[in-house]
Each structure stands twice: as structure tokens, then as C-alpha cells.
């Protein structure tokens, strides 16, 4: 971090070349690479971290739900609180991390990111209203409400990732969206108590695989920059 290239010598004029004359072309290309790598890791959200957090939240939370209801009974209260707590924690982490990375920037990208973020919020608020309406309309069976809630939530996740994949031109995100739609379908069709196990393994597992693929394949490539 001690690279002080900003020597005062070049404040004498644009044509002053002495401050960098010792750097050859290869060193200059390396300088560009290093700086762009540093800029990207400071500005772009770390997908590995976010996928990992959501993967752990879904895997541990839904496993707890499944584990305490696998004999056909209702899930234990502690399992419900664990799932809710982990989801809220992952949500807070995602918001704090993403907003922090885009801090001090404005324009098309931050506007797009904000619209995408609000999309999630609007989707889940609407889901809450839809479920409430179903309950008001006479839906009382807790098992049906649980299956519907998980299915709709997972559908929103899948569709938002499809949208994200399109907007950010991120094929990996789009593939994850397709996987989440598949998870929504299977989790709903299987029914309780299997729903929770499907959400844990396919949903949580899907996030963790996405995080691992990003860490091993996508991240090093993206960090290396556009020009190979």
C-alpha cells in the first residue's frame, strides 16, 4: 500500500515525463491491472460473501425446520425463530454490504442497483399481502400456508435472479434463478415435511454452489480485468 506514484515532480507540467520514465510497458500494464483489481474489489459487491450468507441461512434454517417436523408434526418454535433470524441476518448483511460498496458513486449503475434492491422489497411486501388475503379468504390450514409461503418466496427469489441476470448481464445469476424456480416447484410439489428439506438442500445448496463457483471460476477471471 506504499506505492506513492504521485510524486510532486510531475506537478510541473503535463509534459513532464521524468517521474515515470523508468517504468517500461510491462510494468505499466501491471500497474493498470493492479489498480483496476483494487478498484473493482472496492466497488463491486463480493458475491462469494452474499451467496455464502444466504446459503448458510437457508441450509441451517430449513434443516432445523425439517428436523423438528420430519415426523409430520409442526416445526419447533426454535426452528422457526432460527430460520427467521438467519434470513434477517443475511438480509441485513446484503444491504449493508451492497450499500457500502456503492457508497460515493452515482449514475446508471447505482440507480440500477437501487431499483433492483427495491424490487426485492416490493416482491416480499406483496407476498405478505397475498398470503394475508388468502388467510382472510378462509385459508386456515397452517401446512397449506407454509407450503404457499415457501413456494411464493422461492418463486420471487428465482424471478428476481432472472431479472438480475438480464440487467447485470450475469449468466451465473440467471442460472441460479432457473435453479431457484426449480426449487420452488419441487419444494411445493413434494409437500410437508419434505418442502423444508428441499428448501434446505436445493435452495441453500444452490446458493453455496453458486458461491463456490464464483470463488473458484468467476472471481479470479473478473478480477483479472477486461484485457487479457
Partner 1 sequence: MPEESLDTVIHAPARLRIVATLATLGPGDEIAFPRLRALLDMTAGNLSTHLRKLEDAGYVAVTKTHEGRTPVTYLKLTDSGRAAFRAYQAALADLLKGAGT
Tell me which residues touch partner 1 (CB under 8 A).
Answer: 1, 3, 5-8, 10-11, 14-17, 19-20, 23-26, 28-29, 31-32, 35-36, 38-40, 42-43, 103-110, 227
CB atoms within 10 A of CB 55: 21
Minimal distance in Å, beta carbon 169 to partner 1?
12
Task: Find out whether 120 and 160 touch, Cβ atoms under 8 Å.
Answer: yes
* Burial of 97 per CB tally in 10 Å (0-12, 13-18, 19+): middle
Alpha-carbon span 146 to 196, nearest angstrom: 10
Taken in order 185, 186, 190, 194, the sign of the CA dihedral is negative
First CA to last CA distance, the chain: 24
Alpha-carbon span 195 to 166, nearest angstrom: 29
Residue length, the chain? 228
Among candidate residues 92, 108, 115, the one with its CA nearest the CA of residue 164: 115
**Residue among 17 and 136 whose Cβ is closer to partner 1:** 17
Among candidate residues 177, 184, 208, the one with its CA nearest the CA of residue 198: 184
Minimal distance in Å, beta carbon 14 to partner 1?
6
**Residue among 24 and 71 whose Cβ is closer to partner 1:** 24
Minimal distance in Å, beta carbon 124 to partner 1?
28
**Residue among 15 and 71 whose Cβ is closer to partner 1:** 15
Q: What is the DSSP letter of 200?
A: I
Minimal distance in Å, beta carbon 50 to partner 1?
20
For 7, residues 6+ apart whose C-beta sits below 8 A from its C-beta are: 19
**Residue among 16 and 132 whose Cβ is closer to partner 1:** 16
Minimal distance in Å, beta carbon 116 to partner 1?
15
**Residue among 106 and 136 whose Cβ is closer to partner 1:** 106
Minimal distance in Å, beta carbon 113 to partner 1?
11
**Residue among 135 and 224 whose Cβ is closer to partner 1:** 224
**Residue among 5 and 129 whose Cβ is closer to partner 1:** 5
Minimal distance in Å, beta carbon 103 to partner 1?
7
User: Which cell goes with 221?
Assistant: 477471471
Amino acid at each position: 500500500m506504499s506505492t506513492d506514484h504521485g510524486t510532486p515532480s510531475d506537478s510541473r507540467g503535463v509534459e513532464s515525463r521524468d517521474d515515470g520514465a523508468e517504468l517500461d510497458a510491462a510494468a505499466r500494464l501491471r500497474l493498470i491491472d493492479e489498480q483496476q483489481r483494487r478498484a473493482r474489489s472496492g466497488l463491486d459487491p463480493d458475491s462469494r460473501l452474499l451467496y455464502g450468507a444466504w446459503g448458510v441461512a437457508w441450509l441451517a434454517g430449513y434443516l432445523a425446520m425439517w428436523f423438528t417436523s420430519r415426523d409430520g408434526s409442526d416445526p419447533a418454535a426454535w426452528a422457526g425463530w432460527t430460520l427467521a433470524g438467519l434470513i434477517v441476518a443475511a438480509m441485513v448483511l446484503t444491504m449493508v454490504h451492497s450499500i457500502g460498496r456503492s457508497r460515493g458513486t452515482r449514475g446508471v449503475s447505482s440507480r440500477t442497483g437501487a431499483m433492483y434492491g427495491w424490487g426485492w422489497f416490493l416482491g416480499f411486501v406483496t407476498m405478505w399481502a397475498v398470503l394475508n388475503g388468502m388467510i382472510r379468504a378462509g385459508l386456515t390450514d397452517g401446512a397449506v400456508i407454509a407450503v404457499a409461503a415457501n413456494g411464493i418466496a422461492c418463486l420471487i427469489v428465482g424471478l428476481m435472479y432472472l431479472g438480475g441476470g438480464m440487467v447485470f448481464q450475469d449468466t451465473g445469476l440467471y442460472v441460479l434463478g432457473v435453479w431457484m424456480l426449480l426449487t420452488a416447484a419441487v419444494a411445493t410439489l413434494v409437500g410437508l415435511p419434505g418442502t423444508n428439506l428441499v428448501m434446505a438442500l436445493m435452495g441453500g445448496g444452490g446458493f453455496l454452489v453458486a458461491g463456490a463457483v464464483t470463488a473458484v471460476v468467476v472471481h479470479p477471471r473478473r478480477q483479472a480485468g477486461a484485457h487479457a
